Amino acid sequence: MSIRILQVVDTLIAGGAERMAVNIANSLPVNDFSVSLATTWKTGELQSEIAPHVRKFHFLARFRYDPDVVIKFSRFLQKEDFDIIHVHSNALIITVLAHQLSRTDSLLIWHDHYGRLEIRKRPVFLYWLALSKLDGVLSVSRKLENWAVNEMKVPQNKVWYLPNFVEYPLNQENIDLNLPGKSGFRIICVANIRKQKDHLTLVKAFLQVITVIPDATLIMVGKVNEPDLLVELEDYLSEHGLKGAVHFLGQRMDVLNILRFCDVAVLSSISEAFPLVLMEYGWAKLGVVSTRVGDCEEILLGGEAGLLVQPGDISAMAEAIQNLLEHPEIRRRLAENLHEHVSRNYSKQAVMTNLVDIYQTLLQEREAKKFENPSDC
Residue ranges in the chain whose pLDDT is less than 70: 168-176, 374-377
Whole-number pLDDT of residue 376 = 58
Instruction: Please say whether the beta carbons of 38 and 79 come within 8 A.
Output: no
- pTM for this model (two decimals): 0.86
Angle among Cα 358, 88, 162 to the nearest 5 degrees reads 40
Whole-number pLDDT of residue 362 = 97
Whole-number pLDDT of residue 313 = 98
Which residue type is seen at 319?
A: E
* Strand, helix or coil for residue 295: coil
- Give one DSSP letter per residue of 83-131, joined into a string: SEEEEEGGGHHHHHHHHHHHT---EEEEEE----TTT----HHHHHHHH
C-alpha to C-alpha distance for 343 and 165, rounded to whole angstroms: 9
Delimit the CATH 3.40.50.2000 region(s) of the chain: 3-165+347-376, 186-345
Whole-number pLDDT of residue 60 = 87
338: exposed, middle or buried (C-beta count within 10 Å: 0-12, 13-18, 19+)?
A: buried
The values of phi and psi at residue 85, to 5°, are -110, 115
C-alpha to C-alpha distance for 123 and 121, rounded to whole angstroms: 7
Instruction: Compute, in degrees rounded to 10, the torsion defined by CA atoms 93, 373, 79, 57.
Output: 40
Instruction: Please say whether the beta carbons of 18 and 12 come within 8 A.
Output: yes
Residue range 186-345, CATH number: 3.40.50.2000
C-alpha to C-alpha distance for 284 and 296, rounded to whole angstroms: 17
* Strand, helix or coil for residue 54: coil
What residues are paired with 216 via a beta bridge?
A: none
Task: Give the residue ranges of DSSP H helices in the chain.
Answer: 16-27, 67-80, 92-102, 124-131, 142-146, 199-212, 227-239, 255-259, 276-283, 296-299, 314-326, 328-345, 348-372
Please enumerate in sequence order all residues whose Cβ is within 8 A of that of 94, keeping only pairs 6 or more positions apart, or say none: 10, 40, 61, 64, 65, 66, 69, 70, 73
Identify the CA nearest to 300 among candidates 317, 319, 320, 279. Answer: 279
CATH 3.40.50.410 assigned to domain 3-165+347-376? The reply is no
The values of phi and psi at residue 208, to 5°, are -70, -35
What residues are paired with 55 via a beta bridge?
A: 36
Q: Sheet with 287-291: list strands edge to edge.
A: 246-250, 217-221, 186-190, 264-267, 287-291, 307-309
C-alpha to C-alpha distance for 43 and 11, rounded to whole angstroms: 5
